[in-house]
Structure 1
Amino acid sequence: MFHRTFLAAALLALAAAPATAASCGNDAAGFPAWLDAFQGEAVAAGIAPGVAASALGGLSYSKEVIRLDRGQKGTFKVDFATFAAKRVTKGRLVAGKKMLRTHADLLAGIERRYGVQPEVLVAIWGMETDYGAVRGKMPVIRSLATLAYDCRRSDFFRNELLSALTIIQRGDKSPADLVGAWAGEIGQTQFLASNYLKYSVDYDGNGRRDLIRSVPDVLASTANLLKSHGWSAGADYAPGGGNFPVLAAWNKSDNYQRAIALMAGKLLE
C-alpha cells in the first residue's frame, strides 16, 4: 500500500504546482534547463534527492525518440486482416504453444489467483515482445525525460517519468536496469511505468517486482492488470464475449484487442 499512497501524493504534489513547472520545448536547446527544473520538482514531490540525481543527472535529449514518436501516426490504421497477419504468425504460435507447455504449472497458478486464462497471457506476451526476446534497447529514463520535455504530450510523460523514478526509489529496478521501448514501455509485456507501479506483483517472492527478467512476475502482473479492470474468470474473451471489452485496458486499438483474442484462440488449436 505504501507505494500507491506515495505515488498518489507525489502526483498530487506535482500537479498542484503548475506555476513552477518547467516549460516544454520542441528541440534540444532548452532540455538541460528543463531537466534541472524537473529534478527539483521530483524532489519536491517526494523523490529522494539521491535517486533523482542518479537517474536524471547527465541525461541528453534523444532525437531518435522524437523521430519515432512523430513517425507512429497511422501505424494502427489498417484493416484487421493486414494487422493480424503481421502479429499472429506461425512462428509466434509455435513458440506460444511451447510456452504454454513449459510454464503450465505457473500459468495454472496465476489463473487460479487472477482468473485470466493462460492462452490470453501467452498471446499478450508473444505479441508484445516475442516472449521476452524483443523488449527494446533504449534507456527508459532518457526516453521518458525527452517525451516529458516535448510539448506534444508533456503532462502525460511527466507523470510517467515520475512513476519510473518511484520504481527506482522503491527498489524494484535501478536506472541502468530500466531499458525498454522508445516510448518508455518496460519489460516482457511492455508496461507503462504508471501501470508498473499500480499492477506489478512480486509473484516469485524475491522481494522485487521485476517485469524485465522474472517470468512469474511478468505473467502475474499482466493478469493482475486485467483482473483489476474487470476480467471475469471463465468468461469468453473473443469479440462479443464478456471479457473482450477488458482488453481495451491493455491496448486501446480495436485491431490489437481482436488480435490478442485471435491469437489466444489459435494457441489452443
Structure 2
Amino acid sequence: MRQSTAIRLGKAAVFAILTACCATGSAHAADFSECLASLKPAALAKGVTPETFEGATNGLQPNDVLPFQTNQPEFSTPPWDYMAGLVDDQRIADGKQAYADQAAALQRIGARYGVDPAILVAVWGVESDFGRTFGARPVVQSLATLACYGRKPEFYRGEFVSALLILQRGDVAPERFNGSWAGAFGHTQFMPSTFLRHGVDFEGTGHANIVDSVPDALATTAAYLRASGWQAGAPWGYEVKLPAGYNGPSGRKNRHPAGFWAAKGVTRADSAPLTGPETGLLLLGGPTGPAFLVTRNFDALYTYNAAEVYALAIGVLADRIAGGGPLVGQWPTDDPGLSRIERREVQEKLIAAGFAIGNADGVMGTKTREAIADYQARVGLPRDGRASVKLLQALRAGR
C-alpha cells in the first residue's frame, strides 16, 4: 500500500511512453478521453453518478506515473539498506512522540481491534512519515492513467471506480485527495478499494477520513490488520540467535512450536525463553545475518505491502517505539546502509562537489544515484550508485 520512491522523467519522456502504450493495440482507444469514456459504464454500474464521473474526469489528462511501476525498493534494495532507512533514530524518536500524542485514541483502538498500538504507529511512520508525506499526485488522475495505460489495467480500473465512490461519499475533499503514484492515500496509505472495505469513522464525524483524521487512519489500519488475520495478544515475532553452523529449516510459513526451535539450539536474542504460538524462521540476511521467529501476525503485516523486509521493518520499528533495543545480529555486509539524516548528508556533499541533483531530501532518486555512481568511479569505489557508509566516509574525507 505504500508509495514507492519516485523516478522523475521529463514531459517528453512521459509523452513517449504514453504514445508507445497507446500504439501497441491496447484494448482502450488511443485518445485518453475515449479511454475515460470507456470506463464510465462500469463506474455507473457500481453506483457512481454521472455528475460525479463528469466532475472528476472533465478535462482530465494523464500524468507521469507509468515509469514508477518498475521501481519498487522493497524488491531491489538490500535488506540492510532498506531497514537502515526506515528504522532510524529520527523515525524512532518521532514514533515515540506520535504514540504519546495519540495515546488516548490508540488505547481505545487497541482495545477495540486487538492490534498492538505500537504496530499501528509504526505503520503510520513508514507509510507517511507520521503525516508528512502523503504523496502529491491527484489520486483520480493517477488511477485513470494507470487504468488506461498501465501494466495492470483491470486492477486500476477497479481502483479508479473506488476513488470516484470515495469522492461521491464525501470521505475526502477533492482538493485533498492526493497520494502516491499508485493511488494510495492518507496517513496510512490505503488503496481506494481497500479503504472502502475497511475505512473506520472512529471520530464519529459521519465519514472515515484517513487524510484529515489520525484516529480514523489508525483505526482503519487496525481494522484491516484484524481482517488480515492479526491475533490479539500475540507478537509479530522476535529476534533470535542461531547455533553455529545452523542448517535447519527456515521460511516464515514453515512454522513450528517453540519446543521445536529450542531443540534446534535456537535462543531468543534477549535471553527470554522461547514461548508463544508456532513461528517460522526468517533469515533475510542468510544464516549469518539477524534471525527472527515470526508469527502469523507477521503475515498480517505482509498483506499490507507484500514484501518480507517491509513487514520486518514495521515489526522492528514497533519494538523500538515501545522501548526495545536495537537488533543484536549484524547484517552480512562490511558497508552498511545509511539513515535518512546520513542520506541527506550524502546529497549535501554531492551538491557541494558540483553535482546537480536538486534538493537534499534524503530520497535516493535517479539523479542522486547517477551522481553517486559518478563519484564512486572518481574515487575508486564500486560504481553501483548505492548510498552507503563507505561512500559517506569518502565524501566526508573530501576525496
TM-score range, shorter chain: 0.7 to 0.9
Shift in alpha-carbon separation, 1:258–1:75, aligned structure 2, 3 A:
closer
Q: Which residue of 2 aligns with 1:112?
A: 111
Structure number having the greater helix percentage: 1
Greater CA drift, 234-243 or 150-159? 234-243
Indicate yes or no: 2:51 matched with 1:55: no
Distance 2:312 2:44 in 1: 42
Contact in 2 for aligned 1:39/1:56 (Cα 8 Å):
no
Amino acid at match of 1:30: D
Contact in 1 for aligned 2:48/2:164 (Cα 8 Å):
yes
Residue 79 of structure 1: how far off its partner (Å): 2.8
SS at match of 1:76: helix
Distance 2:90 2:105 in 1: 23
Residue 75 of structure 1: how far off its partner (Å): 5.0
Q: Which residue of 2 aligns with 1:39?
A: 40
Q: Which residue of 1 aligns with 2:65?
A: 65
Shift in alpha-carbon separation, 1:219–1:73, aligned structure 2, 3 A:
closer
Q: Which residue of 1 aligns with 2:93?
A: 94
TM norm structure 1? 0.86
Amino acid at match of 1:229: S
Q: Which residue of 1 aligns with 2:141?
A: 142
> Which fold has the larger relative contact order, with Cα–Cα distance below 8 Å and residues 6 or more apart in sequence?
1
Unaligned runs of 5+ in 1: 1-21
Contact in 2 for aligned 1:93/1:266 (Cα 8 Å):
yes
- Pairing of 1:1-269 with structure 2 (within 5 A): 23-24=27-28, 29-62=30-63, 64-70=64-70, 72-73=71-72, 75-238=74-237, 239-269=293-323
TM norm structure 2? 0.59
Amino acid at match of 2:67: R
Amino acid at match of 2:48: I
Distance 1:24 1:77 in 2: 32
Residue 136 of structure 1: how far off its partner (Å): 0.7
Residue 100 of structure 1: how far off its partner (Å): 1.2
Unaligned runs of 5+ in 2: 1-25, 238-292, 324-399
Distance 1:264 1:218 in 2: 17
Structure number having the greater strand percentage: 2
Q: Which residue of 2 aligns with 1:12?
A: none
Runs of 4+ in 1 over 3 A off after TM superposition: none
Bigger Rg, which one: 2
Deviations 1:65-117 (A, max 9, x none): 112224x1565233322210011111010000011111111101000000011
Residue 24 of structure 1: how far off its partner (Å): 3.5
Contact in 1 for aligned 2:53/2:164 (Cα 8 Å):
yes
Distance 1:257 1:105 in 2: 26
Shift in alpha-carbon separation, 1:152–1:242, aligned structure 2, 3 A:
closer
Residue 243 of structure 1: how far off its partner (Å): 1.3
Contact in 2 for aligned 1:185/1:192 (Cα 8 Å):
yes
SS at match of 1:176: helix
Between the aligned residues of both structures, percent identity stands at 37
Shift in alpha-carbon separation, 1:45–1:240, aligned structure 2, 3 A:
closer
Residue 251 of structure 1: how far off its partner (Å): 1.1
Deviations 1:181-227 (A, max 9, x none): 11110101100001110001000001111010101100000000001
Shift in alpha-carbon separation, 1:74–1:109, aligned structure 2, 3 A:
closer
Shift in alpha-carbon separation, 1:73–1:208, aligned structure 2, 3 A:
closer
Amino acid at match of 2:36: L
Contact in 1 for aligned 2:105/2:215 (Cα 8 Å):
yes
Distance 2:73 2:48 in 1: 37
Contact in 2 for aligned 1:145/1:157 (Cα 8 Å):
yes
Distance 2:102 2:72 in 1: 36
Distance 2:49 2:318 in 1: 43
Amino acid at match of 1:244: F
Report the count of equivalent residues: 243
